[in-house]
C-alpha cells in the first residue's frame, strides 16, 4: 500500500502547471475529506484524475495495477474478519486444495473421533492452525494492518486454541500480504516449544496458544516446508511422536 501511495504522490507532484486545476483536486485536505463507497475510493479518484491529466497512460496504469496485485496477492485473506471463517473455512479449504490427499475425519477411520482435529491421512491426525501477520499496537481494521514479508514493522501472529493431545501433527499456515508460509510440527514439538503457553482460557485444560513475532520467527525456520512437501513432512513428523 505504501509503495502505491508514494508512486501516486510522485505523479501528483510532477503534474505540470497547465494541470493546476487537477492538481488542486488532488490536494491532501480534499482527499482526506473524500467519502469512499466500494468500489469508488481514494485510489480510484486519484488514478482517474491522473489519467485525465495525461500523467498516467493505460499501459502505465496496468503496470501499477499488476505490481500492486503481485505485492498484495493474499491481501484478500485479511478481509476475512470472523475468526471461525478464517480458521475453519479459509485455512482448512486452502490446505485441502494444495494437499488433496488429506481426508476429512470420519468415525469409520477413527471410532474415537468427535471433532478434535481437522484432517486424517493414513492414520495420522492432523490439526490446521492459521494466523496473519499484522502491525502491532494498531487498532485499524486487519486489512490496513496487514504486512508484507519485507516489512520492518513489529508484528503479531497468534496461533490459538492449540491442543497437542488431540492430534499427531500440526500444519500452521502463516499469511502475509505477499506470501503464505507453512510450518509442520509434531504435537510434541508444539507442546515442548518454549513459546507455547498453556491455559489460554481458564478451565480449558490442555489448550494453549503460541505467539510468533519478528523477534522469534527465525526459530521456526526449521519447521518450514514448501507447499509441495507438506504431505511428506506430515508423514515424517508423525513418526517422531
Instruction: Please spell the DSSP secondary structure of 98-156, one letter per residue.
Output: H-TT-B---TTT-TT-SSS-SEEETTEEEEEEEEE-EETT--S-HHHHB--TT--S-EE
Q: Where in the chain is the domain with CATH 3.40.1350?
A: 75-238
Instruction: Give the model's pLDDT for residue 9.
Output: 72
DSSP 214: T
Summarize the chain as % helix, strand, coil (round to 5): 45, 20, 35
pTM of the model: 0.79
Reduced to 3 states, what is the DSSP secondary structure of residue 107? coil
Sorted by sequence, the CB contacts under 8 Å of residue 56 that are 6+ apart come out as 11, 47, 50, 64
Q: What is the pLDDT along the chain (241 residues), one digit of tens a residue?
A: 667 677 767 776 777 655 666 666 666 666 677 666 666 677 787 888 788 888 888 888 888 888 888 889 999 999 998 888 898 889 999 999 999 999 999 999 899 999 999 999 999 999 999 999 999 987 888 888 999 999 999 999 999 999 999 999 999 999 999 999 999 999 999 999 999 998 654 555 679 999 999 999 999 999 999 999 999 999 999 986 5
User: Cα separation of 125 and 166, whole Å?
Assistant: 8
Instruction: Give the model's pLDDT for residue 28.
Output: 67
Instruction: Give the model's pLDDT for residue 18.
Output: 55
Report strand pairing: 180-186 vs 169-175: antiparallel
CATH number at 75-238: 3.40.1350
Peptide bond into 39 cis (omega under 30): yes
Contact predicate 182/210, CB 8 Å: no
Q: Read off the C-alpha cell for 25.
A: 483536486
Q: Among residues 130, 111, 119, 233, which one has the least CA distance to residue 180? A: 130
Contact predicate 198/206, CB 8 Å: yes
Instruction: Give the model's pLDDT for residue 161.
Output: 93
Instruction: Give the model's pLDDT for residue 26.
Output: 67
Residue 114: how many other CB atoms lie within 10 Å: 8
Q: How many CA atoms lie within 13 A of 205 on its CB side?
A: 0
Amino acid at each position: 500500500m505504501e509503495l502505491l501511495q508514494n508512486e501516486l504522490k510522485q505523479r501528483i507532484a510532477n503534474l505540470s502547471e497547465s494541470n493546476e486545476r487537477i492538481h488542486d483536486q488532488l490536494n491532501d485536505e480534499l482527499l482526506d475529506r473524500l467519502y469512499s463507497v466500494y468500489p469508488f475510493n481514494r485510489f480510484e479518484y486519484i488514478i482517474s484524475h491522473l489519467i485525465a491529466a495525461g500523467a498516467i497512460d493505460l499501459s502505465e496504469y496496468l503496470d501499477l495495477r499488476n505490481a500492486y496485485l503481485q505485492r498484495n496477492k493474499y491481501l484478500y485473506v485479511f478481509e476475512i474478519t470472523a475468526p471461525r471463517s478464517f480458521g475453519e473455512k479459509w485455512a482448512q479449504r486452502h490446505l485441502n486444495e494444495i494437499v488433496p490427499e488429506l481426508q476429512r475425519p470420519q468415525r469409520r477411520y477413527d471410532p474415537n473421533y468427535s471433532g478434535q482435529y481437522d484432517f486424517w491421512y493414513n492414520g495420522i491426525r492432523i490439526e490446521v492452525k492459521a494466523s496473519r501477520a499484522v502491525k502491532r499496537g494498531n487498532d485499524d481494521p486487519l486489512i490496513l494492518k496487514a504486512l508484507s514479508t519485507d516489512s520492518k514493522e513489529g508484528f503479531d501472529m497468534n496461533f490459538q486454541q492449540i491442543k497437542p493431545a488431540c492430534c499427531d501433527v500440526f500444519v500452521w499456515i502463516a499469511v502475509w500480504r505477499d506470501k503464505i508460509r507453512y510450518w509442520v510440527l509434531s504435537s510434541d514439538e508444539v507442546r515442548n516449544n518454549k513459546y507455547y503457553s498453556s491455559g489460554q482460557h481458564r478451565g480449558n485444560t490442555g489448550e494453549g496458544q503460541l505467539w510468533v513475532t519478528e523477534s522469534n520467527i527465525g526459530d521456526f525456520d526449521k519447521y518450514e516446508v514448501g507447499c509441495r512437501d507438506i504431505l511428506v513432512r506430515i508423514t515424517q513428523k508423525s513418526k517422531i511422536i
